[in-house]
Structure 1
Amino acid sequence: MRVAGVGFRQAATELSLIDAVQRAGGGADLLATAEEKAGAPALCAAAARLGLAVQAVGRAQLGAQEVLGASARVAERFGTGSLAEAAALAAAGPGARLLGPRVVSGDGLATAAIAIGRDE
């Protein structure tokens, strides 16, 4: 399974999120983000447009992931240095790995990272 983890600011749009996922490599089977962001209208619209479900990931699961990013602001709020990377890894399951570090959308409002499960 290929999971696109996403993080985004409140001002992010559906297109911000789609752009971030595409810049990260696309081809995802699922979108994942923090529980408190999972119902955001922009994310729901992006998921619908991409034909993907959204998986909400809890703070404990986010904090348990080893990520490449190190944002102090994100760490304070979500318990991890990269919401996109941690959400992707958590949703992809045990033994998952990142295809690369998170990337930022062209407008700077969203980030995405792709993780693949250990079976892929």
Structure 2
Amino acid sequence: MSTTPILIAGFGFRREATLASLEQALEQLCHQYGDIDRLAVTHAMRPLVESLGRQHCLEVVVVADDDLASMATLTRSAYSQQAKGTGSVAEAVALLAAGSGAQLLGPRIISADRKATAAVAKARATGVI
């Protein structure tokens, strides 16, 4: 029996980010890690990521903004720490959405226009193939 891990891409971004910013970040993640199963975002940043999810037929998991500070991240952004209470919004969101036992596959990536960040967490496998 083998199980299939679920890969969840978490996003963080600046107000001026566009759908193209997120699209480019997702493309980088797919190139590096393979197919992504779900997208994740905080409640406050939800609309743009939901648009991305619709374009790619991917479920979007929404996590509470207040939970970000509870997550240990690989990246330590001073701005993110001050604004959101975490070293990386993208990494924290991915971990929260992936649930207990999740692990980051690497540090966040930054979109080419530097307006969006994204990270991938591997959730515990939920199915048997």
CA deviation vs aligned residue, 1:61-89 (integer Å, no higher than 9, x gap)? 22111101111211222221100000000
**Equivalence map 1:1-120=2 (5 Å):** 1-25=6-30, 27-39=35-47, 42-119=48-125
Query: How far did residue 59 of structure 1 move?
Result: 2.9
Q: Distance in 1 between matches of 2:75 and 2:61?
A: 21
Equivalenced residues, count: 118
Query: How far did residue 21 of structure 1 move?
Result: 1.6
Moved more, 97-106 or 54-63: 54-63
Moved more, 30-39 or 101-110: 30-39
Aligned Cα RMSD in Å?
A: 1.6
On the 8 A contact 2:40/2:49 being kept in 1, the answer is no
Q: Distance in 1 between matches of 2:81 and 2:65?
A: 10
**Residue identity (%):** 41
Unaligned runs of 5+ in 2: 1-5
Q: Which amino acid letter does the alignment assign opposite residue 37 of structure 1?
A: M
Q: Which amino acid letter does the alignment assign opposite residue 29 of structure 2?
A: A
TM-score by length of 2: 0.83
Runs of 4+ in 1 over 4 A off after TM superposition: none
Q: Distance in 2 between matches of 1:64 and 1:53?
A: 24
Q: Distance in 2 between matches of 1:93 and 1:116?
A: 9
